[in-house]
């Protein structure tokens, strides 16, 4: 049994894959296995995966005939993992050389079942910034809920928003298997995984050191027009509702639905006006008006006044609350033109 299983979903990633694998191979901590999940790639990624496995017996490759999405790729990794702990790595990102050793040591020294680190945001233009999970320290169940679960449940508007990135953590495989935690969907799936996991974790050790290098990739799924976003978001809210009921989270954040729906609404509006959506602007505006009139969004608009957001989101929220949809459309038209 290796100490850590690192799971990497791979899809059309030939230009990133070798460097990603190398960042695991050069870890100062050596008791790992690397699971490369070829999610139906049609480029050179499958051959690169096999070549990497041929060079290091700690690397295992799983080929899927058809692309099934990042959630199923990660679920495959969870089913096949043999390590005591689970770590995730996106194929266009990198570990710092002592990432796994530091996270492993945090768990061993504190008796924690989970560990977390800060990460470095890297923009294609060369800009970078550090983003923390929590301040240095060891957190008990109450601290975990206050620091991670509750922000993921309802604090989705005021900056800085707590991001649901799964690759900043070392997870207990025993907890994941005992509870039966898995991924679903292609968007926001990591937030629900984190919520459920940390409703069951007992102790978390955290370092403020940025040990993960996150490439903010304009070509990634989160930056593209999603034709089925509303269905995806509604399913996300159904699952979030079930988690809130199962773990009795309602009392801590009574208006979590309204805040979550506001956050989803702002994403949905940006998605509707995205360049990849070829509908006429008049039709886009009608879609946004209908969305704002839907019962769950209308309730959020009526009961919650968003505050503390970025200037652009604050402007969009104000236009929505004032029902200035024509002006909103013209602003997005100008934004897309520029």
What are the structural domains of the chain?
Answer: 4-221 (3.90.550.10), 255-337 (no CATH)
Q: Which residue has the higher pLDDT, 211 or 276?
A: 211
Query: The tokens 């800085």 sit on which residue?
Result: 160
With 60 as the cut, is the pLDDT of residue 63 above it? yes
pLDDT tens-place string over residues 239-274: 999 999 999 999 899 999 999 999 999 999 999 999
Calculate mean pLDDT across residues 144-172. 95
With 60 as the cut, is the pLDDT of residue 288 above it? yes
With 70 as the cut, is the pLDDT of residue 181 above it? yes
With 90 as the cut, is the pLDDT of residue 222 above it? no
With 80 as the cut, is the pLDDT of residue 139 above it? yes
Using alpha carbons, list the distances in angstroms from residue 311 to 40, 157, 272, 282, 307: 40, 12, 19, 25, 10
With 70 as the cut, is the pLDDT of residue 296 above it? yes
Contact 169, 114 (CB under 8 A): yes
What distance in Å separates the CA atoms of residue 94 and residue 112, rounded to the nearest whole number? 24
pLDDT tier at 224, thresholds 50, 70, 90: confident
Ramachandran class of 305: left when φ > 0, alpha when ψ lies in -120 to 50, beta otherwise: beta
Q: Which residue has the higher pLDDT, 324 or 219?
A: 324
């Amino acid at each position: 049994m290796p100490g850590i299983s690192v799971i990497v979903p791979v899809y059309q990633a030939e230009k990133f894959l070798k460097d990603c694998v190398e960042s695991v191979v050069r870890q100062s901590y050596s008791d790992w296995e690397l699971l490369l999940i070829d999610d139906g790639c049609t480029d050179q990624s499958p051959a690169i995966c096999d070549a990497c496995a041929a060079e290091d017996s700690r690397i295992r490759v799983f080929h899927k005939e058809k692309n099934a999405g990042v959630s199923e790729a990660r679920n495959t990794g969870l089913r096949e993992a043999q390590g005591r702990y689970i770590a995730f790595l996106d194929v266009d990102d990198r570990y710092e050389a002592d990432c796994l050793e530091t996270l492993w040591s945090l768990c061993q020294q504190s008796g924690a079942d989970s560990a977390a680190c800060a990460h470095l945001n890297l923009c294609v233009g060369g800009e970078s910034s550090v983003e923390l999970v929590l301040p240095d320290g060891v957190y008990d169940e109450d601290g975990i809920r206050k620091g991670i679960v509750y922000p993921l449940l309802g604090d989705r508007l005021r900056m800085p928003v707590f991001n649901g990135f799964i690759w900043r953590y070392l997870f207990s495989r025993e907890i994941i298997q005992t509870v039966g935690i898995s991924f679903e969907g292609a968007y926001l799936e990591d937030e629900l995984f984190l919520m459920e996991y940390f409703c069951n974790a007992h102790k978390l050790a955290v370092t403020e050191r940025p040990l993960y290098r996150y490439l903010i990739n304009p070509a990634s799924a989160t930056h593209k027009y999603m034709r089925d976003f509303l269905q995806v978001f509604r399913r996300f809210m159904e699952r979030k509702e079930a988690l809130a009921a199962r773990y009795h989270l309602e009392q801590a954040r009574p208006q979590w639905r309204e805040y979550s729906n506001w956050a989803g609404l702002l994403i949905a509006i940006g998605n509707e006006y995205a360049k990849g959506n070829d509908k006429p602007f008049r039709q886009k505006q009608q879609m946004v008006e209908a969305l704002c009139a839907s019962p769950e969004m209308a309730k959020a608009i009526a009961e919650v006044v968003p505050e503390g957001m970025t200037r652009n989101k604050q402007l969009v929220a104000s236009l929505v609350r004032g029902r200035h949809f024509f002006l909103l459309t013209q602003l997005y038209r100008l934004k897309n033109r520029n």
